[in-house]
Amino acid sequence: MPTPDEQLCSLRTAQQVYEREFAHCQRSPEWKAGALRGLRLAAGLAPAASPYASGTAQDDAWGSGNLVGAAEWKWRAERGQLPGQPGWGEQA
């Protein structure tokens, strides 16, 4: 189980990746919220359920963003391109 300090570090790292990769893209707020959740989940933080009703467009967007966020984290982690790693400043 991660310590509170480790969880805070993971939360900040996920937020930094989100701000760099997703905050300014032209996606819906629901998709962006899902992307942030995917980043947090991939960073080892506790999962959160979708805040949207199942079967709605909002839930679909949230789920899609979630998958993309988790994939982005994995891709960056494999290449050493997360905040605090030497490759963070390099463009992907």
Query: Tens digits of per-residue pLDDT, 34-74?
Result: 999 999 999 988 788 999 999 999 999 999 999 999 999 99
What's the whole-model pTM score? 0.86
pLDDT band at 83 (very low <50, low <70, confident <90, very high): confident
Closest C-alpha among 16, 18, 15, 28 to residue 62: 28
**Angle subtended at Cα 56 by Cα 35 and Cα 64, rounded to the nearest 5 degrees:** 25
User: Going by C-beta distance under 8 Å and a sequence separation of 6 or more, which residues neighbour residue 60?
Assistant: none
Please tell me the predicted confidence (pLDDT) of residue 8.
85
* Overall average pLDDT of the 79-84 stretch: 84
pLDDT band at 90 (very low <50, low <70, confident <90, very high): low
